[in-house]
Amino acid sequence: MIVAGRAAASETDVTIDQDSAAWRQRLSARAAAAPASGIAEVMRHGFGRAGIIPLWVGEGDLPTARPICDAAAQSLARGETFYMPQPGIPELRQALAAYHDRLYGGLFGQAFPADRFFVTGSGMQAIQIAITLATGPDDEVLVPTPAWPNFHAAVGVAGARAVEVPMHFSPSGWRLDIDDLKAAITPNTKAIFVNSPSNPTGWTASEENLRGLLRLARDNGLWIIADEVYSRFTYDTQRLATPSLHALVAPDDRVLFVNTFSKNWAMTGWRIGWVEAPPAVGPAIENLIQYATSGVAVFMQRAAVCALNEGESRLAALMERTRKGRDIVVEALGKIQGISFASPGAFYLFFRIDGVTDSTAYATALIEDANVGLAPGSAFGAGGDGFFRLCFARDPETLALACSRLADRIARP
């Protein structure tokens, strides 16, 4: 009976697979080719496991602060449930401008104007819009890797091509070689993606790095898509934020900043972000928002205003906790033989284990044997295999436990 049952199940599987293959052929090439996330693959393996410590996602373990949630609830209670202006409500665009003034002391010697800011339904959507603005079919975007895989995939869905330019690893730091980027430029190149601090490597561009990138973009008429999502996660206690292109750009530079409320204000589940662009590009951005999701709920935007205007002390507390988490993982994993990593940035430790070549298989084994979930480095493109990404924006005790489990498992042959 059991054998028959198995046979039946397996036949069903075959039917489903054939069915999937037939449907896949009916889809457009770009939809069929959109890759599944390599992080999700490992997560599926460990999801729901008793006692697992999930450090695979770029998400803290604290819910959104109450005042931010209340701002949304109060807006709902006021009946703010109608269509909204496509670029965002004026109050939020103004709050974004003021926030940037506080961080960067203005732009081009003046206060940031509100009309540089366009509210989007997630940082991911900000990226999607930036890609559409900068590229057409068969155009190329240079992506220093390892990099967040969603950028690469979104370029593909948009019909363009992400060209991976591997960065150079040593325990003294990841290094971006501008000449590598330069060598990868072709007549089809339209943009460079710059993610600093980097997810997953933690690489944080110096002003000199940013100057080099800007020069390269200017010399070649390229856009820069600047993802400074983790800019507030600076471990230099003298700074409010990591070095930014905001300090270097001229009015004529083709820079599109993409950002999100997710990380700074523990709002990952909200799906709200922004694009910052020259105001002259505004009408095109408004149209792209219109034809993508047609705006962001007003009550969400009220919450975002609250985050910007009242969230600074909580962000400082979150940073303090993240700094502690960073110290714990650096100390614990730094002691393990055969592990190497550069000084971590953003809220990730990206470490290599000597002798590991298949990150996905090893990450799966870590779930089975250590009950710790990490993102496999192979998911982040060229140069990532053999590495693992650990998110340390978590409760310090849990992090310590995870590290001790990892140390036990990695010590085993």
- CA 22 to CA 296: how far, in whole Å? 36
| Binders of its own copies in range 233-262 (CB under 8 A) | 254
- Output 216 or 332, the one with its CB closest to its own copies: 216
- Among residues 315, 348, 316, the alpha carbon closest in space to that of 329 is found at 348
Asked whether position 203 contacts its own copies by CB under 8 A, the answer is no
Among residues 213, 225, 229, 297, the one that binds its own copies under rule CB under 8 A? 297
Asked whether position 223 contacts its own copies by CB under 8 A, the answer is yes
Residue type for 261, please? F
**189-195/173-175 β-pairing:** unpaired
Q: How far is the CB of 281 from its own copies (least distance, A)?
A: 5
Asked whether position 36 contacts its own copies by CB under 8 A, the answer is yes
Asked whether position 157 contacts its own copies by CB under 8 A, the answer is yes
Task: Beginning with the edge strand found earlier in the chain, give each strand of the sheet holding 140-145 in spatial order.
Answer: 117-120, 273-276, 255-260, 223-227, 189-195, 140-145, 161-166
Asked whether position 64 contacts its own copies by CB under 8 A, the answer is yes
Q: How far is the CB of 286 from its own copies (least distance, A)?
A: 8
Give the tokens for residue 222: 């390229």
Q: Tokens 């363009």, residue?
A: 160
- Output 260 or 359, the one with its CB closest to its own copies: 260
Cβ(288)–Cβ(132) below 8 Å: yes
- Output 63 or 338, the one with its CB closest to its own copies: 63
- Output 194 or 339, the one with its CB closest to its own copies: 194
Among residues 41, 45, 76, 101, the one that binds its own copies under rule CB under 8 A? 76
Task: Specify the stretch interacting with its own copies by CB under 8 A; choose among 36-44, 111-119, 235-243, 378-386.
Answer: 36-44
Asked whether position 52 contacts its own copies by CB under 8 A, the answer is no
- Output 76 or 103, the one with its CB closest to its own copies: 76
CB-CB neighbours of 327 under 10 Å: 14
Give the tokens for residue 127: 């990226």
- Output 31 or 316, the one with its CB closest to its own copies: 31
Among residues 81, 186, 206, 357, the one that binds its own copies under rule CB under 8 A? 81
- Output 130 or 367, the one with its CB closest to its own copies: 130
The secondary structure of 257-315 as a DSSP string is EEEESTTTTT-TTT--EEEE--GGGHHHHHHHHHTTT----HHHHHHHHHHHHH-HHHH
- CA 194 to CA 176: how far, in whole Å? 10
- Output 288 or 342, the one with its CB closest to its own copies: 288
* Chain center to CA of 353: 23
Asked whether position 37 contacts its own copies by CB under 8 A, the answer is yes
Asked whether position 317 contacts its own copies by CB under 8 A, the answer is no
Which DSSP letter does residue 252 get?
T
Asked whether position 276 contacts its own copies by CB under 8 A, the answer is no
Asked whether position 288 contacts its own copies by CB under 8 A, the answer is yes
